[in-house]
Structure 1
Amino acid sequence: MAAQSGGSATIDTTKAHSGTHSLKVVSTGGFSNHVFYGVNSLSALGSGADIYGRYWANFQIAFNQDHTTHMMMTDPVAQTLRMGGQFGVLDWNRASDDSIMPDGSPTSNAGSIAIGANTWYCIEFHLSRTTGQIATWVNGTAIASLTTPQTRWGSSYIPNPSNWGLGWESYGSDPNTVWFDDIALGTSRLGC
């Protein structure tokens, strides 16, 4: 998967979580200046298998109140799941109806995590392709408001994504540079 319309995705040697290289994504901001890089097919994980992902991310600019995406998965019925930020915290978003998790209330936002600038974060997720449940960990700790019960987005919605990518997309005018490292997908939890 390589989607790009106004930024760049390159291998970089100036910043890395481990080793000497990372994926550097630069976006000048705005919806039309998105950049994503990843895999076009998740078939290697097996049909219907749970999806676990892990990556380290370092954002040059801290999350603010605006809506952004840095990880996305699309299933065949165009139900794109996106992880990013809104209201200053890490969140999940379903593109079809713009539903977010947490729901944007002060109480549920407090159960997420604020993402600061120039800090490495280990972000892990689990998506069940049987129940539709999502779980999220940051730096090895489960994030309560980013974990769904089976019915969070309705029992009829069970995502079956066909691709996966990392990058940056802003639905306002938020530019950012993001470094990604130690990226992995699998069918069981990978850990930090």
Structure 2
Amino acid sequence: MRNLIAAVVTAAMLGAATGSVPAGAADAHRGSCGRGLLFCEDFDRRPLGGPATVDWGVDTRNGTLTVERARHGRALHVHTVDNGRAFLRVDDLKVPGDRLYGRMRLRVDAFPTAPDWAHFTLVEATGTGSTEVVRPVGGQYAPTVPGVFWGVGADGGPTGDWTNWRESAPVREDTWQCFEWVLDRSGNRVAVWIDGVANPELTASTTDHGGNAVPFVLPAVSTVKIGWQLYQGGTTPGTFDLWIDDVALSTSRLGC
């Protein structure tokens, strides 16, 4: 399995491939990020290029993941072509309690300006107890504004496919930012912080989500994917590059 994962990381623009390892397999490495975390990866111990071994799975289609030098140490370079995807994947999470918090540092070279309503995801969570695919960090190009905006979204469940993008949360290109999110099953609530500041509009709850009257129900999360996916073809630009660092999952807020 680890050989398959390494091959996927280093392969360039191949077809769909997946691999995963239990989140609990990374205890030694997580110690360098701090104790008490469900998952942590700062990439600083990873070799440049495609790592020989990883403590996380990979999900790619027309995309690659490589470890490269960044402003502070090393970071994960995510590269996709058109409507491709490339995700770091944490499987077999066991989350005590109702709340799962996440954090990542992020820089995106450029966001899509075509096609109209181009929709993208950077964080996706799935699990048991609900068929919702929850997307706490994602966004959309809105040609009517025009602009590209962050938004909470979901897919695959009774509430359908929606991204609740907000003009109060415009994206910033070529800039390092810190994103935090929480998935709280006690109220089926999703909330997001950017650079330590909450945006009250970047939320979802049982009854307030994407203009849909069907109740929104969070799963008991067991898998989290972090990276990039765009869902429509014929994009401008034709390729996408972003850098991700200091990824962590916990049962309490992590801070930036």
TM-score bracket, normalised by the shorter chain, equals 0.7 to 0.9
Distance in 2 between residues matched to 1:158 and 1:84, nearest whole Å = 17
1:55-83: per-residue Cα shift (whole Å, max 9, x none)? 01100113545211111111234421122
- Measure, in 2, the Cα distance between the counterparts of 1:151 and 1:78: 17
The Cα shift of 1:11 comes to: 1.2
Matches within 5 A, 1:1-192: 1-13=57-69, 15-16=70-71, 18=72, 20-30=73-83, 33-43=84-94, 45-46=95-96, 48-62=97-111, 64=113, 65-76=117-128, 77-82=130-135, 83-86=137-140, 87=142, 88-96=148-156, 97-102=160-165, 109-111=166-168, 113-153=169-209, 154-155=214-215, 157-173=217-233, 174=235, 175-192=239-256
Instruction: Describe the superposition over 1:134-159 as per-residue Cα deviations: whole angstroms up to 9, x where unpaired.
Output: 11110111112112344224446133
Question: Which position in structure 1 is the counterpart of 2:42?
Answer: none
Give the TM-score taking structure 2 as reference length. 0.64
TM-fit CA distance, 1:54:
0.7
What are structure 1's unaligned runs of at least 5 residues? 103-108
Identity %: 27
- The RMSD of aligned alpha carbons is 1.8
Contact 2:63 2:78 in 1 (8 A): yes
Q: Answer with 1 or 2: which has the greater Rg.
A: 2
Instruction: Tell me how far apart the structure 2 counterparts of residues 26 and 84 of structure 1 sit (CA, whole Å).
Output: 16
Normalising to structure 1: TM-score of the pair?
0.84
Q: Which runs of 5+ in 2 are unaligned?
A: 1-56, 143-147
| Higher relative contact order (CA closer than 8 Å, sequence separation 6+) | 1
Do 1:56 and 1:183's aligned partners in 2 also have CA atoms closer than 8 Å?
A: yes
> Residue 11 of structure 1 aligns to which amino acid in structure 2?
V
Q: CA separation in 1, counterparts of 2:231 and 2:58? A: 19
Higher-strand-fraction structure:
2
Count of aligned pairs between the two proteins: 178
State the distance in 2 between where 1:156 and 1:8 align: 33
